[in-house]
Amino acid sequence: MTGGLDARLVVERDGGFVLDISIEIEAGMTVALLGPNAAGKSTAVGALAGLIPLERGHIQLGDRVLDDPARGWFVVPEERHIGVVFQDYLLFPHQTVAQNVAFGVRGSRVQPGGSVSAWLDRLGLSELARRKPADLSGGQAQRVALARALITEPQLLLLDEPLAALDVTTRAQLRHILADHLRSFAGPRLLITHDPTEAFLLADRIHVIENGHITQVGTPEDIRLRPRTSYIADLAGSNLIEGVAADGVISVSGHTLTAADTKAQGPVLATIHPRAISIHRNHPEGSPRNTWQTVVRRIEHYGDRVRLQTSDPVPLTAEITPGATSALDIHEGDSVWVSIKATEVTMEPGSSVAAVAPSVDDAE
Amino acid sequence: MRVASSARSRRRPPLLLVILAGIGLALFVMPLIGLLFKAPWRDLPELLSGPTVADALRLSLLTSIAATGVAAIIGVPIAWLLARVEFPFRSVVRALVLLPLVLPPVVGGAALLFALGRRGVVGEPLNQATGLVLPFSTWGVVVAVTFVAMPFLIITVEGALRNLDTRYEGAAASLGAGQWTVLRRVTFPMIAPSLVAGLLLTWARALGEFGATITFAGNLQGRTQTLPLAVFVAMESDRDTAIALSLVMVAISLTVLIVLRDRWWGAS
Amino acid sequence: MNTGLRTCLVAMVTAVLTISCGGQQDRGSEVLVSAAASLTDAFVAIEEAFERANPEIEVVLNFGGSASLREQILAGAPADVFASANLANMDVIVQAGLTVADAQVFATNSLAVAVPPGNPGAVAGLADFARPELLLGVCADGVPCGVFAREALARTGVEPSFDTNEPDVRSLLTKVEAGELDAGIVYVTDIAAGEGRVEGLAIPPPINVVASYPIAVLSDGEGRAAGGAFVEYVLSADGRAILDQYGFGAP
């Protein structure tokens, strides 16, 4: 493929841990490597960046082979043209923001894709040019790390948990910036994360990694609706609903959801765990504030779990036991009532689309 | 719930600690006071104006600074190897490199003589090939004081390199920096405070060296007689000159140490 | 606390106690003799003979440049006997009232040129001390050996080209022995003591200097009585014989 990443990474680490995954990313695509901690994500980053040699496998970027142990071929990190945004940003503490951003292009083998000041501008860092990393907030540091990596016009963009160190509000704001820059980056992009929301919103395709192996590959939709392992189901199989919150009421395409948090205002991403959704044959009575009637579109069995997909007004995935399914005698196409407690609706500010340009001048 | 008021939380340090520290400080301060008391203040200008003093001062500064430079050039690579490269017998090499710290300086000087003297194991062939004679020369002084002072630099720099987060160097590499560039623009700048502290310590040690100098380089005014040697010689014939020279050494050392004090504390 | 720390503490406490308790011995049976470096071999032999004759007395020898020893004694070092390589240093001690009685000259010495075996520098005498291409050494100006050497050189009218001023005659000798110096001006007795490790060139009498070695009992020492016995032995016929053996002249 032109300009894409084709990699099979096999790495053995001390303590017996083995990483064995394959990743293919076409140019212009964002792939997320989603998995819990200690799943091998950082090892994958290290291997791709050239900081950890492969035991077996290969790494090919465009028409360049970067690592091929079978043929004894290894390209050193400084020659790989892979832009990395590291988990702790790793901004050089003894250099200013401007110097950090300029690092990769000053007197090195790389031609800058636009001047340093242009990139500082693009990420809203112009006023911070003379500051040292120690005086930056998390969000500011993240943007510097991004500029520093992008200015070198790398052939692959590697983001290792780029938003992990930030608080919820900052994360939402930066997700937009990140999304914009990812989109405008022409090459392949790999996003490493443990946060499913991040993966869903930023990636075109998700590779789920558990214990050094890929357990599922698919679009965010695939992963959410048809999780193959319990990890994915627990973490990633949540319902993600976009709406606008006001005093505890979320407006979602004509319908309203009641949430317990009355403080959030504005665009929000609401999550409802499938197990928090109760299914009833008839209109339920009781405390849950969110109840409506809907139709079961699809039923899938996963061993001891059953996942139902409901339709309008708010399409959801609900999870109940096989026993419950047979007890209620539910079939596809049946009409059921859904009930969700307000406390089970969690929110975080933000949206998947930049409906409003985020205020980049930080109130951080 | 216990709430400590700010006054109460500023408790006085334990008495025993203060007493012991006081005794220790007295140990440092008393020789200085003795020196100041016995100093021939009236004759000082005259005593310090002779060529002996000028020569000794010049030689001391010259050789101690040169030694610090040599120590930096060969000591930093040694520190880097010890900190970063796994090679066989690394711990043995580290012990060898730190040996001058434990060895009495005169023994060090004698050993240098046996190795690099005109009839030395290495010195003899060197002399026959190039005519180079190190003992009894100013460069001999530099060799002798470098030998005793370099371990200080190596310890400090090795410690700093070990404590450095190597991920920064990985980040630099990912941005296209080759090995030398990484060293130049990331590694060394990041250990700069420790490097400075190490150089300072090395210089101070080199300045004060006596035993190795007199044993290896000998004692000749204008060529090898550094301040410590001049003091020693003066002690035998002219106590007042000895004290005057000692005061000069104390003044130089204190000045440099006080001026660079902040850098020192910053080297953490 | 862990074993390593405990071991260190025990070692330190033991060391401190040992040093403190060490000074409680009866020092009346010990004689501390500070003697010029050139007396090293002769006095070691005298020490052995004296201790054999007086088994209850222990002699402790401390060698160094006479000027250094003088300074030590002036500063209060616990020496019982002082044997100097020239009269000047002893005079200072006597004038300071630190001796029991006047000093007595017990030996004489004169200078010689020491060269490494084989005489690689082809040194013939004091005149060669003007050659800049040779590595030449003398004792430092404050030390008797150095004073005498300079006197002798002045008598020849030679402008010397030294490369080092050693703090005492023994360190000078060591460097000549090792071949690191081409020649050095030492005592005649040092050539003999070198036992073939150095070769000696005589310095003719009109140029040569005669050094008088005085010895005295110090009044500040604790081993005064034993010190007196030691000095007596040195001045006796037995002591004279040993000194003679090592090349010292009669007083």
Say if residue C216's pLDDT is above 90.
yes
- Topology (CATH level 3) of domain A239-349: OB fold (Dihydrolipoamide Acetyltransferase, E2P) (2.40.50)
Give residue A354's pLDDT: 42
Chain A neighbours (≥3 Cβ pairs under 8 A) are: B
Alpha-carbon distance C34 to C11, whole Å? 32
Q: Are strands A82-85 and A156-160 parallel, antiparallel or unpaired?
A: parallel
Looking at residue C22, its pLDDT comes to 62
ipTM: 0.77
pLDDT of residue A1 exceeding 70: no
Q: Which domains does chain C have, with CATH numbers?
A: 28-108+212-245 (3.40.190.10), 109-210 (3.40.190.10)
Which of A118-122, A275-279, B124-128, C223-227 comes out lowest in average pLDDT?
C223-227
CATH code of the domain made up of B48-266: 1.10.3720.10
B223 contacts in C (CB within 8 Å)? 163
All residue ranges of chain B with pLDDT < 70 are: 1-9, 261-268
Distance, CA of B109 to CA of B115 (rounded, Å): 10
Query: Nearest CB to A110: which of B176, B185, B186?
Result: B176
* pLDDT value for A318: 87
Q: What is the DSSP letter of A344?
A: G
B31 at A interface, C-beta within 8 A: no
Mean pLDDT over all residues of chain A? 84
| DSSP output for C54-71 | -TT-EEEEEEE-HHHHHH
CB-closest option in C65, C163, C171 to B136 = C163
Per-residue pLDDT reduced to its tens digit, C60-108: 999 988 888 998 998 888 899 999 988 989 999 999 888 888 899 999 9
For A5-236, CATH gives 3.40.50.300
Mean pLDDT for A106-120 is: 65
CB contact under 8 A, C178 and B119: yes
pLDDT tens readout for residues C130-143: 999 999 999 988 88
Task: Give the domain ranges of chain B.
Answer: 48-266
Give the burial string for C196-207 (b: 16+ CB within 10 Å, else e).
eebbbbebeeeb
B neighbour chains, 3+ CB pairs within 8 Å: A, C
Beta bridge partners of C105: C214
Output the DSSP codes for A208-257.
Answer: EEETTEEEEEE-HHHHHHS--SHHIIIII--EEEEEEEETTEEEETTEEE
Comparing alpha-carbon positions, the chain B residue that sits nearest to A152 is B175
- DSSP string covering B86-105: --TTHHHHHHHHHHHHHS-H
Shortest Cα–Cα distance, C31 to chain B (Å): 25
- Residue B198 CA to residue B206 CA, distance in Å, equals 12
For A357, phi then psi, to 5°, come to -60, 130
Tokens at residue B4, please?
Answer: 């400590």
Question: Token digits for A319?
Answer: 């999870």
- B vs C contact (3+ beta-carbon pairs below 8 A): yes
Q: Taking a C-beta distance cutoff of 8 angstroms, is the pair C158, C129 a contact?
A: yes
Q: Cβ contacts of residue A230 below 8 Å, gap of 6+?
A: none
